[in-house]
DNA sequence: CCTGGCACTCAACGCTTCCGAGTGCCAGCC
DNA sequence: GGCTGGCACTCGGAAGCGTTGAGTGCCAGG
């Protein structure tokens, strides 16, 4: 086990390196943090920390930089979450409160997160599978054309066009609309398939084709694959990544474009509480030199989606975690109100 | 006026520079293009072209590179639009046809454009002001809470929550819905304000507050500011920009984040036909070393929105223009079908 | 008006040198 | 036992310096 002082040395290394972006040496350390010991002692501690794999030297005769393992220890044991200040909290709230619809909420959240953390922000739209149905609407747009509009309790709206196999009268449509709503309004999405199973039985033979088409479209809309949307922002912050630019930034931009990758990334994160994935802990290779801080958010106690930021492993973890947590909290509130 | 051969020299310089990314010299030029004259002659031509401001030297004793003015001449006079090949066209069509809704159409278009041009793609959602109303729906979600859903002929759906000043009965709601639809369905957005002006007069005093709220929300939704959305993609292609990376890429990423800037950019482009803005022709400073190729697209003959790509001034103009034009055409078709 | 020849320029490259931050180790001290 | 000052060593990065060669402008001759 590492002694208390060695942990302090590690903490100091992480803090300095995050601040200066340069390998930190023993002398500089003793000057900037009063550890009460001489550089020589610190050197011994550093050698020990290096043996354990918490820090590394880019090359001989350079200072040390934390390894992923070092950051991990720092996050887990040595640093807390830095709470937002009161003015910051007020600013967050103000900024989010102006939103007019769900798109706007998400867009504002992304902006806010990117600005607060000076990193790339990722916000997932409230998931459908964890939501409940607020309303289903069927609109006849042409004799054999119906539009399905699905509204969730989180304010999300999905629409689909349906080509009917046979003309479908207004009365049949109203009938179907009413039956659908009475069955699934207020119910969870996951329950919907079961609830509409036998719905077609109530209809005339000639209408059943259309009813089936509507139902299958409805079920399709609920399928996980179609529903996971997200928004990203703050990519300009990538330019602050490091000197060895193009090599680092390229795969990150690619990852950000691949929504699938990002969704997986957020999905893998623990369901409750904040998750920090550091460097190689990220399964996706392109993100091996980045850290991802994510957390679930939701209107009630339950998380309906996740949000987070992607930044260099060399990031201000306490501050980032504080911002992410605070934003998630306020977004949850906003959603609950709407 | 420049002689025919000098124009050829300029064309050759642009082509070579776009291909190699390196300043091109007189000798290399005569070797790769058979101009039928010696390097010395080409040098004279180059000197003339430089005097006119079409090309420049990064430093003495280096080759020449085209200036913005040079590219402009190239685009206007020396190069056409390279049409897509048949297989490419088929691929475009296939790719776009799988789209399930408007969001998907836009998303696919962005991907496609980015991939075809290997540059950053920007696609504007079909504008509301140029669209017509397909349907308005009012949903009662709570006693004093109404959701307004607006569906356009381009498949776009907007929704807004409305808090009613007083409880609003189902019958009143149905009445309002019917009246609204009969008045504005099929009409252009710009005509809507005039058409609903006196609608509140048909209602009881107690309901007028709510009617007014609904109408004002409806009108708000139509306002230019709220409606211009766009999607971007292919940012990873920015890494191919140049060697002097961070400096160039930073402002571009920033511009891309500023939807306002991008919308202005697309908006400034001519309404019909393809627009190419080269380097400093772009009003926004951050895009001074990029070119923007944009074109309107629409379901019928008329453009409802624009799309385009942002790339380095050193881009393959004919190819890019061909891709942009082709994609716009097919997107228009897809929209017309849905 | 084109061409070959020629002197000139200058960024890029490779080489060497120098510097100093940082290290590991060790003998001595508390 | 653990801390300290001292010391020799390492090695990346900056600075200086010649070499190279692509590219130029100019000129006299065809």
Domain residue extents for chain B: 4-77, 86-126+228-337, 129-225
State, as a whole number of angstroms, the distance between the CA of A61 and the C1' of D8: 14
Q: What is the average pLDDT across B266-288? A: 87
B160 φ/ψ angles, rounded to the nearest 5 degrees: -145, 145
- Which residue's alpha carbon is at the shortest distance from the C1' of D5? A40
Which nucleotide's C1' is closest to B40 (Cα)?
C3
Give the residue among A131, A88, A128, A123 at the shortest CA–CA distance from A106: A123
Closest-CA residue in chain A for B254? A236
**A159 contacts B101? CB cut-off 8 A:** yes
Higher pLDDT among residues A267 and A40, named by residue: A40
* Strand C nucleotides where any atom sits below 7 Å of a protein CB: 2-5, 8-11, 20-26
Phi and psi at A300, nearest 5°, equal -105, -140
Closest nucleotide to the alpha carbon of B42, via C1': C2
Question: Tell me, in Å, how far CA of B27 is from C1' of D20?
Answer: 18
Q: What is the CATH number of domain B4-77?
A: 1.10.10.10
Q: Is the CB of B38 under 7 A from strand C?
A: yes
Burial of A250 (0-12, 13-18, 19+ CB in 10 A): middle
CA of A312 to C1' of D9 (A): 34
A:B CB pairs within 8 Å? 79
> What are the phi and psi torsion angles at B63 (to 5°)?
-70, -175
Query: What are B83's two structure tokens?
Result: 């049409």
Q: Which residues of B touch A238 (CB under 8 A)?
A: 253
pLDDT value of residue B231: 92
State whether B100 and A257 contact (CB < 8 Å): no
Question: How far apart are the C-alpha atoms of B133 and B184, rounded to whole Å?
Answer: 7
Q: Which of residues 221-260 of A touch B (CB under 8 A)?
A: 226, 229, 233-236, 238-239, 245-246, 249-250, 253-254, 256-257
> Which residues does nucleic strand D approach, with CB less than 7 A?
A 5, 36-41, 44, 59-62; B 23-28, 39-40, 43, 46-47, 50, 57, 60-64
Please tell me the distance in Å from B108's CA to the nearest CA on chain A.
12
pLDDT at A267: 83
Please indicate whether, in this complex, the C-beta atoms of A234 and B250 are within 8 angstroms of each other: no
Distance A244 CA to D17 C1' (A): 28
Around Cβ A202, how many Cβ atoms within 10 Å?
A: 12
CA of A242 to C1' of C8 (A): 41
Residue B41, CB, strand C, below 7 Å: yes
Cβ–Cβ below 8 Å for A135 and B149: no
Q: What mean pLDDT, rounded, does chain A reach?
A: 88
Write down the pLDDT at residue B3: 85
Query: A280, exposed or middle or buried, with CB in 10 Å at 0-12, 13-18, 19+?
Result: middle
Task: Give pLDDT, residue A202.
Answer: 84
**Is pLDDT above 70 for A86?**
yes
pLDDT of the residue at A246: 60
> Which pLDDT value is given to residue A222?
77
Q: Average pLDDT for residues A169-184, to the nearest whole number?
A: 89
Tell me phi and psi for residue A268, to 5 degrees: -65, -25
User: For A269-283, how does the pLDDT look when each residue is reduced to its tens digit (9 = 90+)?
Assistant: 776 789 999 999 999
Q: Given this chain, do its domains A4-77 and A129-225 carry the same CATH topology?
A: no
Structure tokens at A148: 């399905």
Any idea what DSSP says for residue A186? T
**pTM of the prediction?**
0.83
Pairing status of strand A120-124 against strand A305-312: antiparallel
Specify which residues A292 forms β-bridges with: A277, A310
Nearest to B196 by CA among B174, B172, B160, B220: B220
Whether nucleic acid strand C comes within 7 Å of the CB of A266, the answer is no
* Chain A CB contacts of B100 below 8 Å: 160, 226
Contact A309, A320 (CB under 8 A): yes
B246 neighbourhood in chain A, CB within 8 Å: 239, 245
pLDDT at A243: 61
CA dist B183 → B157, B178, B180, B192, B250 (Å): 19, 9, 5, 8, 49
Provide the CA B249 to C1' C16 distance, Å, integer: 36
Stronger pLDDT, A242 or A179, i.e. the higher one: A179
Point out the residue among A101, A250, A256 whose CB comes nearest to the CB of B160.
A101
Contact in structure between B211 and B176 (CB atoms under 8 Å): yes
pLDDT band at residue B227 under the 50/70/90 scheme: low
- pLDDT at residue B330, as a whole number: 95
Q: What's the gap in Å between the CA of A161 and the closest CA on chain B?
A: 8
Closest chain A CA to residue B154: A161
Query: What is the average per-residue pLDDT within B255-262?
Result: 89
**Which of A60-69, B133-142, B282-291 has the least mean pLDDT?**
B133-142
Give the closest of A149, A161, A233 to B257, CB-based: A233
Chain A window 141-180: which residues touch B at a Cβ cutoff of 8 Å? 141, 147, 149, 151, 155, 157-161
- Looking at CA atoms only, how far is residue A260 from chain B in angstroms? 14
Cβ distance A254 to B234 less than 8 Å, yes or no, reads no
Q: Do A161 and B101 touch (CB under 8 A)?
A: yes
Q: How far apart (Å, rounded) are the C-alpha atoms in residues A237 and A312?
A: 10
Could you give the CA distance from residue B8 to residue B6 in angstroms, rounded to a whole number? 5
* CATH number for the domain formed by residue range(s) B86-126+228-337: 3.30.450.40
Least confident of A202-211, B21-30, B175-184, B294-303: B294-303
B271: which 2 tokens? Answer: 């309404």
Query: Is-contact B303 B289, C-beta < 8 A?
Result: no
Asked if B5 CB < 7 A from strand C, the reply is: yes
Query: Residue A34: its pLDDT value, please?
Result: 84
Is there a contact between A100 and B234 if contact means CB atoms under 8 Å apart? no
pLDDT beyond 90 at A16: yes
pLDDT value for B245: 60
B97 touches chain A (CB under 8 A): no
Confidence of residue B306 (pLDDT cuts 50, 70, 90): very high
Residue A132, pLDDT score? 84
Indicate the average pLDDT of chain B.
88
Q: Which of B100, B245, B250 sits opposite A160 (nearest CB)?
A: B100
Residues of B in contact with A100 (CB under 8 A): 160, 226
Say what the pLDDT of residue A102 is.
84
Q: Distance, in angstroms, between B237 CA and closest chain A CA?
A: 8
Given a cut of 90, is residue B294 above it in pLDDT?
Answer: yes
Among A103, A136, A150, A235, most B C-beta atoms within 10 A, so best to mutate, is: A235
Identify the pLDDT of residue B224: 55
Give tens-digit pLDDT for A20-56.
999 999 998 998 898 889 999 999 999 999 999 999 9
Fold of B129-225: Enolase-like; domain 1 (3.30.390)
Cα-to-chain-centroid distance, residue B238: 17
User: pLDDT over 70 for what percent of chain B?
Assistant: 95
**Residue A20: closest CA among A317, A314, A319, A331:** A314
pLDDT at A333 over 70: yes
- pLDDT at position B226 over 70: no
Predicted confidence at residue A244, as pLDDT, reads 60
CA–C1' distance A243–D14 (Å)?
18
Q: Say whether B253 and A233 touch across the interface (CB within 8 A).
A: no
């Amino acid at each position: 086990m590492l002694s208390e002082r060695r942990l302090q040395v590690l903490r100091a290394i992480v803090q300095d390196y995050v601040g200066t972006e340069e390998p930190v040496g023993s002398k500089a350390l003793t000057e900037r943090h009063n550890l009460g010991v001489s550089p020589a002692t610190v050197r011994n501690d550093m050698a020990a920390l290096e043996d354990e794999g918490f820090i590394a030297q880019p090359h001989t005769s350079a200072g040390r930089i934390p390894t992923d393992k070092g950051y991990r220890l720092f996050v887990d044991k040595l640093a807390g979450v830095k709470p937002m200040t009161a003015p910051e909290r007020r600013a967050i709230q103000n900024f989010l409160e102006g939103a007019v619809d769900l798109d706007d909420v998400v867009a504002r959240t992304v902006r806010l997160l990117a600005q607060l953390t000076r990193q790339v922000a990722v916000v997932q739209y409230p998931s459908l599978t964890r939501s409940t149905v607020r309303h289903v609407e069927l609109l006849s747009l042409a004799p054999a054309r119906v539009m399905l509009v699905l509204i969730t309790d989180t304010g999300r709206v999905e629409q689909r066009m349906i080509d009917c196999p046979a003309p479908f009268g207004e009365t049949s449509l109203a009938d179907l609309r009413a039956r659908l709503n009475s069955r699934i309004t207020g119910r969870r999405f996951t329950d919907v398939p079961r609830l509409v199973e036998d719905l077609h039985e109530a209809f005339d033979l000639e209408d059943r084709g259309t009813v089936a088409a509507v139902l299958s479209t409805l079920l399709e809309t609920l399928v996980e694959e179609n529903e996971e949307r997200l928004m990203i922002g703050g990519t300009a912050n990538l330019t602050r990544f490091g000197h060895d630019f193009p090599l680092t930034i390229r795969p990150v931009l690619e990852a950000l474009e691949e929504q699938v990758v990002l969704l997986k990334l957020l999905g893998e994160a623990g369901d409750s509480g904040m998750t920090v994935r550091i460097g190689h802990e990220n399964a996706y290779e392109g993100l091996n030199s980045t850290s991802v801080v994510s957390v679930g958010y939701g209107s009630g106690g339950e998380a309906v989606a996740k949000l987070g930021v992607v930044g260099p492993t060399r990031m201000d973890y306490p501050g980032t975690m504080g911002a992410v947590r605070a934003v998630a909290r306020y977004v949850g509130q906003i959603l609950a109100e709407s």
